[in-house]
Copies of this chain bind each other. A is one copy, B any other.
Amino acid sequence: MSTNAIAALGLGVVGLGRAFMLTLPSILADKRIRLAGAVDPRVEAREEFASRFSAPAYETLSEMLNNSAVELVYVASPHQLHREHALAALAAGRHVLIEKPVALSLDDSRAIINAADHNNRHVAVGPSHSFDPQIAMALEIIKSGKYGALRMIRANYDTDFMYRPRRAEELTTKTGGGVIFSQAVHHIDIVRLLAGGKTRRVTALTGNWDKARPSEGAYMALLEFENGVTANLTYSGYAHYDGDESAGWMGELGQRKDPSEYGAARRKLRTVKNPEEETALKAMRGFGLGELPRDPDGNEHFGELMLSLDHADIRIGPEKIRIYGDEAVTTLPVEPLAAGRRHVMDAIWQMVRENHLPVQNARWGHATLEVCHAILKSAQGGNWQPLKEQVAVPGYPIENK
């Protein structure tokens, strides 16, 4: 039976905020997926959703779960609500796509794993930049063995993350604020995917430099994997330098940037007088108030990424992969996806229609979350943290040394 002959997958979204906004274009571009419902506390978001997509919008998730057209629930609510929303959807027999991080605590992510098992439903965790097409290309190059063993990964990204408009909980670590749960989670997903998935131990230093926005805004982390691969992550969300410059001014979400807009985030934030105004500014970036992101110019990415293998260094960018080999340099173009998050749509389609669980499933997301918590613990306590609940990338070469 061809794909076209199967009915489009009914997706119901919980949370019409910024995360949904960023994924919406990829949903709309994909004929395999249709918006079947939405949940949001904001009436203007519900009205906009209902009128634009001719689909029902609800005030509560339990209402949406009575709608049998919703086959998969996309949990795009604030981090601290992921567990509650995922468990409700799974208990109601739905498959689930959960925004990263899968949850805030490891207890929460374990509960999601158990609920998926118990209800015999699937969970994918995404979007994350581990779905970016250049990462999949790099993984295939590594797995081919053509350049010998992967040895070391260097990843760094400089952004203005801490100066984008935030709700109060996004600036409080215990409610999932700061860059570890929102940004390190991308870095960890990427390097785990490229290194085979099983992190042995991690240590980190975090930076919490701005008393007005008191959560982790920067980190430097070393990871060692069970197969001996090592990785070094550096991230500043306080940055003035824009890490997208090194990606040819391609923005994280695939829109080409105008360098003349230097310092825009800090300038805009200075117009805000109090936390209420900032929360309102953040809401303006959500569905029903903010403008949809403009069409991407290319692939998404998460900053600089360099792999060291025995017989090549590989620099991974959103537009090209440069392979510096023993003899020569080869450049592989990375074809831009028509819809930036097409690979996430592929994953949920295959999960629901073909019973194929993606690499980035609940156990994967739990393992990535374990690394996030280990980073925080290491930065507080000063020691390397062993990891115990890591999962492997299927088909990854077992012996890498």
Residues of A within 8 A of B (CB): 149, 151-152, 154, 156, 158, 201, 203-205, 207, 209-210, 218, 220, 222, 224, 230, 232, 234, 236, 238-242, 262-263, 266, 306, 308, 310-313, 315, 322, 324-329, 382-384
In the bound complex, what is the Cα–Cα distance between A224 and B306 (angstroms)?
24
Q: Give the residues in chain B near A383, CB-CB below 8 Å.
A: 383-384
Please tell me if the beta carbons of A236 and B152 are within 8 angstroms of each other in the complex: yes
The distance from the CB of A261 to the nearest CB of chain B, in whole angstroms, is: 12
Partner of A239, one of B240, B242, B313: B313
Q: Give the residues in chain B near A384, CB-CB below 8 Å.
A: 203, 382-384
Partner of A240, one of B158, B203, B204, B313: B313
In the bound complex, what is the Cα–Cα distance between A207 and B151 (angstroms)?
8
Q: Give the residues in chain B near A239, CB-CB below 8 Å.
A: 308, 313, 324
Please tell me if the beta carbons of B209 and A220 are within 8 angstroms of each other in the complex: no
In the bound complex, what is the Cα–Cα distance between A268 and B6 (angstroms)?
60
The distance from the CB of A380 to the nearest CB of chain B, in whole angstroms, is: 13
Please tell me if the beta carbons of A154 and B234 are within 8 angstroms of each other in the complex: yes
In the bound complex, what is the Cα–Cα distance between A187 and B172 (angstroms)?
35
Partner of A205, one of B209, B224, B315, B324: B224
Partner of A220, one of B204, B232, B240: B232
- 9 shortest interchain CB distances as A-B pairs: A240-B324, A241-B313, A241-B324, A220-B232, A240-B313, A205-B230, A154-B234, A232-B234, A236-B308
In the complex, residue of chain B having the shortest beta-carbon distance to the beta carbon of A384: B382
Given A151-B238, A238-B308: 13 more A-B contacts, CB < 8 Å = A151-B218, A152-B218, A152-B220, A152-B236, A154-B156, A207-B230, A220-B232, A239-B308, A239-B324, A240-B313, A240-B326, A242-B324, A263-B326
The distance from the CB of A381 to the nearest CB of chain B, in whole angstroms, is: 10
Q: Give the residues in chain B near A232, CB-CB below 8 Å.
A: 220, 232, 234
